[in-house]
Amino acid sequence: MDAMEKAKNIITSGKVVRAVLWIAGALVVVAIAVVLWSVLRGRSAGDAGTADFVTETIAPVDNKTTVIDVVAGDTLSKILSANGVGGKDINSIAGVLKSKAGITGLRADKDKIEIVRDGGPDTPITKIVVLPGPWRRVELTCDDAGVWNCNAIDIERDTRLVYRQGEILDGDSFYLAGMRANIPAGILADVYDLLAFEMDFERDVRAGQKFSVLYEENYHDNVHVDNGAVSVVSFDALRGNVKMYRFKKSDKTVGYYDPNGNGAIKSLKRTPINNAKVTSSFSTRRKHPVLGFTRAHKGVDFRAPTGTPIPSAGAGRVVARGYNRGHGNFVRIRHNGSFETLYAHMSKFAKNVKVGTTVKQGQIIGYSGSTGLSTGPHLHYEIIKDGKHVNPMTVKLPAINNLDAENKKKFLEYRATLDKAIEDLENNPKGFIQL
């Protein structure tokens, strides 16, 4: 069969014709919808899309599809039964989701569910789709024998590196300066988290200081969907430039490193609660606000409205959880090496955090309050090194995740490519680097 004949066969094959007709039909429907939408909005189709970024759901939405945002208190069973799915089917769906897609529960404010009825509203369900974030669709269909099948699809994403630079102005906070520099709030929170290992935002930040961030933006079909990781962060702090690079080791673990390849993530955080303002510093002598007489303040106080979640400053094991007159409700955690941390004046403890519980860095251990000797809601935070109280803001903290010789060599090569990317984007601030 020659090429010409082959082409003819393909063109006349009924399957292809049907597919072409279907696509053409779909395009016509989309075109009509766009025109109608433009007319209703009172503007031409050409001037749409002036916003820098439009965040859209990837899933098609039409009158056959109901999209449900998972909120606090929702369960798969609650959502499905509200949409007319029977108990036996719900159990079968939960089973296949777990065994085939590794999904054991729904996450509030993250996951979505689509209920698809091909025949339109009030007809039987043809498909249920679980969307754990924007990059995966888990489609569930029921076959004629009543068995639910599961098909997980990864959504194609393209990732771009973008670069933003900012400067602290008089009377500014890092947060305000970051927003002004067009850095998204989520990225800013990550940056703060990283810098907090090296910087004391109370004392190290001054007007005139410059900072920059290289981070990932994720796109699907040229639409900005969400942001990825922070690749490089740099801040000209009072004590010198603080710079961190994200790097994946050969064992696939990801960490942040200083320009020389030393681990930038420390075993403990100086400020457990992000962005919390210091209201009272560590000192060996101060007038106690409640007791009135002078005594040492063995920790740092951070402003925190009642109920603010308190994360553990580092990985470790809970060695005390209780109440005393001074600290009120407190938790003490023993970390690797010689460090312990203590968190006082809590309004309540986190469920499942008891004496003996192993906690991760960042895991919520309780909620701020004003129990014990306290004049108002705040977190009183102590670091104890070898049994002695030390100043959390200045104590030298051990790095975790250091690099061996082989990984360090790779890191330095990778760092050079990131530095080159920054150099390119400094000359082209609106540009991006396609990954």
Contacting residues toward Zn ion, per CB under 5 A? 299, 301, 380
Residues 6+ apart with CB under 8 A from 7: none
- Residue pair 94/76 in contact (Cβ under 8 Å)? The answer is yes
- Please report how close the Cβ of residue 325 comes to Zn ion at its closest, in angstroms: 14
- Please report how close the Cβ of residue 297 comes to Zn ion at its closest, in angstroms: 6
Residues 51, 176, 367, 107, Cα dihedral to 10°: 20
- Please report how close the Cβ of residue 299 comes to Zn ion at its closest, in angstroms: 5
261/328 with CB nearer Zn ion: 328
114/301 with CB nearer Zn ion: 301
299/328 with CB nearer Zn ion: 299
- Residue pair 199/237 in contact (Cβ under 8 Å)? The answer is yes
263/299 with CB nearer Zn ion: 299
Pairing of strands 378-385, 388-390: antiparallel
Torsion sign across C-alpha atoms 103, 109, 111, 116:
positive
- Please report how close the Cβ of residue 301 comes to Zn ion at its closest, in angstroms: 4
Position of minimal CB gap to Zn ion? 380
CA atoms of 202 and 279, how far apart (whole Å): 10
231/374 with CB nearer Zn ion: 374
100/385 with CB nearer Zn ion: 385
- Residue pair 365/314 in contact (Cβ under 8 Å)? The answer is no
